[in-house]
């Protein structure tokens, strides 16, 4: 699971790595609490 920026939006992305590709399982906007955690890293 990662938190990433996508054109000024912070997204929570769940993915799996299957050589040689990365497969996105789901993506959604990060919650306020998740944004705070990301900004404090």
The helix/strand/coil state of 31 is: coil
pLDDT at site 32 = 94
d(CA 14, CA 3): 9
Q: pLDDT per residue over 1-41, tens digit each? A: 787 778 778 999 999 998 899 999 999 999 999 999 988 97
Whole-structure pTM over 0.85, yes or no? Answer: no
Q: Say which residue the tokens 């299957």 belong to.
A: 18
Range of the domain at 35: 2-39
Tokens representing 19 are: 């050589």
d(CA 31, CA 10): 9
What total of structural domains would you count in the chain? 1
């Amino acid at each position: 699971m990662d938190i990433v920026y996508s054109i000024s939006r912070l997204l929570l992305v769940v993915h799996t790595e299957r050589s040689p590709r990365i497969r996105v399982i789901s993506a959604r906007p990060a919650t306020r609490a998740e944004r705070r955690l990301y900004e404090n890293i």
